[in-house]
């Protein structure tokens, strides 16, 4: 049962509720994606005002999480969902938590930029933007996999996180080198490190989302399993 059609219940209104729930996650995901695009642009052009808007807009994302969670609770209480329906509702609830956290990470970077403590030279900026673009790609692919409930793409996205980790480590090495020579800018360096770490964490949240997608489709819990075991499990799910 790798693919589940959520639109085949006898109850038409239940079909609609589950469809709305999934759409709500995609709306929330779209918002966060826009936030990420904005913050990367704010880094690129050092735009404090754009960063401020990102900070303010994070409230909206928090609000979306609350609303979606409320709907999850309502469905649990009124529909008593079972099996894949139950997994969907639980997954949505967890997914929104992770998306909300992604929003927090983005807002953190935005805050540093708006406070003027995210001053980076061209070389680090270039690398940060490359990292940012990689994260945007990963995020888009994650939401795409969620929209299509596609286990195979979710598994592939999972592996993208390695690219992000490598790029992040690379920038960290450069930063350490700078830090040694320019200790007087300590506040700035700390903000940059913390901001980059926040960006890197977005990749981890994407990974979580992919785990949920895999769980939802096949009922396989791949959290906290070794990569090797996980790949075996995923393989079993993908190939019929």
Partner 1 sequence: MNLFSRKTTPLKKLTPENIAVNIESLSVELNNKVVLDNISMRIPAYSITSIIGQSGCGKTTLLNSMNRMNELITDHKITGHIWMDKRDINHKRENVARLRTNVGMVFQQPNPFPMTIYENVGFGLKLQQQYSRRQIDDAIEKALINAGLWDEVKDRLHEPAMILSGGQQQRLMIARALALKPQILLLDEPTSALDPLATLFIEELMQSLKQHTTIVMVTHNMQQAARISDYTAFIHKGELIEYTDSDSLFTQPKHKQTEDYITGRYG
CA distances to 43, 85, 149, 203 from 79, rounded to whole Å, are 46, 10, 22, 34
Quote the DSSP letter at residue 189: H
Phi, psi torsion values for 181, nearest 5 degrees: -90, -20
Name the minimum Å distance from CB 77 to partner 1: 12
Name the minimum Å distance from CB 5 to partner 1: 8
- Site map for partner 1, 190-219, x if CB under 8 A? -----------------------------x
Give 86 or 129: the residue with its C-beta nearer to partner 1: 86
Name the minimum Å distance from CB 82 to partner 1: 5
- Site map for partner 1, 28-67, x if CB under 8 A? ----------------------------------------
Number of residues that bind partner 1 (CB under 8 A): 16
CA distances to 33, 94, 129, 189 from 37, rounded to whole Å, are 6, 24, 10, 23
Under the binding rule (CB under 8 A), the answer on residue 9 touching partner 1 is yes
The answer for 3, left when phi > 0, alpha when psi is -120 to 50, beta otherwise, is beta
Phi, psi torsion values for 51, nearest 5 degrees: -60, -40
Under the binding rule (CB under 8 A), the answer on residue 226 touching partner 1 is no
**Rounded Cα–Cα distance for residues 205 and 23 (Å):** 19
Give 8 or 49: the residue with its C-beta nearer to partner 1: 8
Could you say which residues in the range 64-123 bind partner 1, by CB under 8 A? 80-87
Name the minimum Å distance from CB 2 to partner 1: 11
Phi, psi torsion values for 166, nearest 5 degrees: -65, -45
Binding residues for partner 1 (CB under 8 A): 1, 4, 8-11, 14, 80-87, 219
């Amino acid at each position: 049962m790798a693919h589940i059609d959520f639109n085949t219940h006898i109850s038409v209104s239940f079909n609609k509720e589950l469809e709305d729930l999934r759409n709500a996650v995609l709306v929330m995901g779209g918002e966060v994606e826009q936030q990420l695009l904005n913050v990367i642009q704010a880094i690129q052009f050092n735009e404090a005002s754009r960063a401020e808007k990102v900070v303010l807009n994070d409230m909206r994302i928090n609000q979306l999480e609350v609303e979606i969670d409320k709907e999850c609770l309502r469905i649990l209480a009124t529909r008593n969902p079972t099996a894949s329906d139950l997994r969907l509702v639980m997954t949505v609830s967890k997914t929104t938590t992770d998306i909300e956290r992604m929003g927090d990470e983005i807002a953190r970077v935005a805050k540093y930029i708006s406070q003027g403590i995210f001053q980076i030279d061209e070389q680090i900026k270039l690398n940060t933007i490359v990292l940012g673009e990689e994260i945007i790609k990963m995020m888009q692919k994650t939401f795409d996999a969620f929209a299509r409930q596609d286990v195979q793409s979710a598994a592939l996205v999972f592996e993208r996180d390695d690219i992000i980790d490598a790029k992040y480590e690379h920038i960290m090495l450069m930063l350490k080198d700078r830090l040694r020579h320019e200790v007087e800018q300590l506040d700035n360096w700390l903000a940059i490190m913390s901001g980059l770490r926040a960006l890197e964490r977005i990749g981890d949240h994407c990974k979580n989302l992919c785990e949920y997608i895999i769980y939802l489709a096949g009922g396989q819990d791949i959290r906290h399993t070794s990569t090797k075991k996980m790949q075996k499990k995923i393989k079993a799910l993908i190939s019929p």
